Amino acid sequence: MMYHFIGIKGAGLSSLACLLHDLGLEVQGSDVSEYFYTEDNLIKRKIKILPFDHNNIKKEYTVIVGNAFLNNEEHKEAMKLGCEVYTYNEYVGLLSKKYFSVAVSGTHGKTTTTNMIKQILAAKEPVNFLIGDGQGGGAPNNDLFVFEACEYRRHFLKYWPKVLVIINIDYDHPDYFTDIKDVQDAFSTLVAQSTKVVYNGDDACVRAIIPHDKDSSSFGLDKDNTYHAENITNDHRYTYYDLYIHDKYLTQIKIPLFGSAAVYNSLAAIATTHTLVNDIGLLKNILANYVTSKRRFEEVIINNQVIISDYAHHPTEIKATLDAIHVKYPFRRVIVYFQPHTYSRTIALFKEFCESLSLADKVYLREIFSSAREHEAIISINYLSEAINNSEVINDDEYIEEFAKYNNAVIVFMGAGDIDKLYAKYIQKMQKKDNFS
């Protein structure tokens, strides 16, 4: 049977296509011709990528459609022919019931934590996994399935995990959620659908939704948690902390990441995998050699500049990234090139954006990246620029020359839109300059 993906280059669909391919299923898909980094894994597996055309669809196909492509010509053809049609969330929901599934949720840190859990479990044997940076893979002989569970539009309520991880709960997606209680309500429903919960016991918004009779374990810095960290220190390469289970010292953990968010993410991974792998030495080794996800504090050093690409697009994430940079590079100026993601988020969290971005020494702003659902520019980037000290709006044809002037600085390309393309272009230009200097 052929599985056809409509919008196969999307981060979710590309990873799911790779998973099904690795399980030995026939897979193909369609999308626009423009290059996206997610297609690298598809090409590696020789998965066919076609242009959109209703003739791509056959009656016997199972069709998986990206949310952005509902009602396009292929989706309409699939419905007309009576194909089995699923959204990404619906199909992942089926997998969550079929496998011993570990769903990683939370407003922030899902991709990093999912990747940590996957790397720990895969050190024992291959696992089935879906990661938000476009990584995905299948393991025909393993019942474990690790995946991200996003709260947006309550999509994760299609999932029925054996283990649910909750890293944190914060207010986001203001185009859908009315307030923090609405967000908590969504998570509370998912908790009820899960067999066991591993949760951040330091987060009051999370604690409030965990029933007392739920099979659960907690992590955090507070000593009341099942797993907690003490004596957190760092050098220029690692963050270190002492790991305790209940009141018993277990070992010292080191991770090649910085800031409090990294500690919480790693504690979530430990609390999830400790009993599954039952090998603290292996767990320690994998975390010490953790390989970062795409666009999560992804850094390159060229000459005297540290150049970072980061997906942070919420004020809490911006603060976490900038805190991590200040810990790792305490004596360098921090220059941020930020592209806000969606008008609705920019308006709803305007004050918080101003506060978090003010942690940088200099802020450059790019035009707001609107979602497919937003048809009108209801706020100008200039409002943000006027509200943040030492900030300015810069055009795509100006930034390379401007950023190249900064010596011994950290340059951060930040946002969930297409700013990563400018990061790649800047790296390319700086490498050429380095080769000729």
pLDDT at 425: 94
Say if residue 363 is in the same domain as residue 407: yes
d(CA 16, CA 45): 13
d(CA 233, CA 242): 10
Q: Are 320 and 108 in contact (CB under 8 A)?
A: yes
Is a pLDDT exceeding 80 seen at residue 374? no
What are the angstrom distances between the C-alpha of 432 and each of 251, 309, 318, 402, 421? 45, 19, 30, 16, 17
pLDDT at 20: 98
Is a pLDDT exceeding 70 seen at residue 85? yes
Instruction: Provide mean pLDDT across the span 320-345.
Output: 94
Residue from 32, 27, 31, 2 nearest 16 by CA: 27
Say if residue 157 is in the same domain as residue 203: yes
- Per-residue pLDDT tens for 354-373? 999 999 999 999 999 887 67
Q: Is 420 within the bounds of a domain?
A: yes
For residue 16, give the CATH number of its domain.
3.40.50.720
Instruction: Provide mean pLDDT across the span 129-157.
Output: 95
Q: pLDDT-based confidence at 437, cuts 50/70/90?
A: low
Q: For 228-232, 294-298, 391-395, which range has the lowest pLDDT when averaged over its residues?
A: 294-298
Confidence (pTM) = 0.91
Give 240's DSSP letter: E
Q: What is the DSSP string of 360-396?
A: SSEEEE---B--TT--S--S-HHHHHHHSTTEEE--T
- Per-residue pLDDT tens for 198-216? 999 999 999 999 999 999 9
Say if residue 256 is in the same domain as residue 360: no
Domain boundary among 253, 288, 323: 288
d(CA 369, CA 380): 11
Is a pLDDT exceeding 90 seen at residue 434? no
Is a pLDDT exceeding 70 seen at residue 312? yes
384 compared with 437, residue with greater pLDDT: 384
Q: What is the DSSP string of 174-233?
A: TTT--SHHHHHHHHHHHHHT-SEEEEETT-HHHHTTS-TTS-EEEEESSTTSSEEEEEEE
Q: Are 114 and 131 in contact (CB under 8 A)?
A: yes
Contacts of 380 (CB under 8 A, 6+ apart): none
pLDDT at 378: 81
Q: Which two tokens stand for residue 83?
A: 């194909």
Domain boundary among 254, 288, 322: 288
Say if residue 268 is in the same domain as residue 371: no
pLDDT at 400: 94
For residue 197, give the CATH number of its domain.
3.40.1190.10
Q: Are strands 128-130 and 144-148 parallel, antiparallel or unpaired?
A: parallel
Q: Identify the H or E element spanning 334.
A: strand 333-338
Question: Residue 283 is part of which domain span?
Answer: 99-288
Say if residue 14 is in the same domain as residue 34: yes
Helices (H) and strands (E) in the chain, counts: 15, 21
Q: Is 293 within the bounds of a domain?
A: no
Q: Is 349 within the bounds of a domain?
A: yes
Say if residue 127 is in the same domain as residue 255: yes
Is a pLDDT exceeding 60 seen at residue 436? no
Q: pLDDT-based confidence at 296, cuts 50/70/90?
A: confident
What are the angstrom distances between the C-alpha of 282 and each of 139, 270, 274, 279, 287? 20, 11, 10, 5, 9
- Per-residue pLDDT tens for 242-294? 999 999 999 999 999 999 999 999 999 999 999 999 999 999 999 999 998 77
Contacts of 324 (CB under 8 A, 6+ apart): 257, 258, 259, 261, 262, 297
For residue 313, give the CATH number of its domain.
3.90.190.20
Say if residue 306 is in the same domain as residue 418: yes
- Per-residue pLDDT tens for 147-172? 999 999 999 999 999 999 999 999 99
Query: In total, how many domains does the chain have?
Result: 3
- Per-residue pLDDT tens for 22-68? 999 999 999 999 988 889 999 999 999 999 999 999 999 999 999 88
Is a pLDDT exceeding 70 seen at residue 422? yes
* Percent of the chain predicted with pLDDT > 90: 88
Q: pLDDT-based confidence at 295, cuts 50/70/90?
A: confident
Is a pLDDT exceeding 70 seen at residue 435? no
pLDDT at 377: 75
What are the angstrom distances between the C-alpha of 402 and each of 3, 286, 377? 47, 39, 27
